[in-house]
Amino acid sequence: MRREQQPAGEEAETTSYTFHFQISNKGGRQACSVAVQAPNILDATTCFRQNWPVIESMARDGLATRSSKDTTINLALSDEVRASFASKCDGSRN
């Protein structure tokens, strides 16, 4: 079977991969998920693992500041963190 060469760099097509995890919160467990944009599952997994400390911190902060009726936490990376996230992901492919 022949495989065509995938576009490199910014030309690469990305897909959203969702990772589900749990965080303990006030004696219970809170289900969470995060979506990672990446060209393939290996790159998405690598980025998720390398950036776990940032993801966990943002999720915990979101749990601490949300109201008891709100069950959704929206995480948004700052431009600086996003650039760091992208550079870690790009570096993992080399």
At 68 the pLDDT is 65
Extract the tokens encoding 22. 């749990």
At 80 the pLDDT is 65
The predicted model scores a pTM of 0.63
Extract the tokens encoding 30. 């809170």
What is the C-alpha to C-alpha distance for residues 6 and 59, in angstroms, rounded to an integer? 33
At 3 the pLDDT is 42
Lowest mean pLDDT among 16-25, 64-73, 78-87: 78-87
At 53 the pLDDT is 92
Q: Where are the domains of the chain?
A: 14-92
Q: How many CA atoms lie within 13 A of 78 on its CB side?
A: 4
DSSP 71: -
Question: Look-up: residue for tokens 């570096």?
Answer: 91
What is the C-alpha to C-alpha distance for residues 61 and 69, in angstroms, rounded to an integer? 16
